[in-house]
Amino acid sequence: MAYEMRDGSGTLFKVQEKKSEKSPDYTGDCMIGGEVYRMAAWIRESESGRKFMSFKFEPKEQQQAKPAKPASKGRYDDEGDVPF
């Protein structure tokens, strides 16, 4: 039987290879109010040493529609700005 996502539930999977130290430890999808969200979770540790998870939810449509970040051109743009 195939998995069917239901409202108020979701699934997280452990990230096998993190791209950077800030990358989430777990990612997955969930459904809230009939809308699908992309979830990201990080394992954190409080000052007292207790471990907890920190979450981020982002509408899946918005996450897929994000344009790629342009390469950094430095401090000045190509509109003729001169750094002096």
Residue 14 lies in a domain: yes
Region of 8 (left: φ > 0; alpha: ψ -120 to 50; beta: rest) is left
Residue 44 domain boundaries: 9-65
Q: Does 26 fall in a domain?
A: yes
Whole-structure pTM over 0.75, yes or no? Answer: no
Dump pLDDT digits (tens) for 32-47.
999 999 999 999 999 9
Query: What gap in Å lies between CA 78 and CA 56, rounded to an integer?
Result: 35
| Type of residue at 78 | D
User: Is 15 within the bounds of a domain?
Assistant: yes
Residue 2 counted as domain residue = no
Residues of the chain above pLDDT 90, percent: 63
Count up the domains in the chain and report the number.
Answer: 1
Residue 35 lies in a domain: yes
Q: What is the pLDDT along the chain (84 residues), one digit of tens a residue?
A: 677 889 999 999 999 999 999 999 999 999 999 999 999 999 999 999 999 999 999 998 866 666 655 555 555 455 555 555
**How far does Cα 34 stand from its chain's mean position?**
20
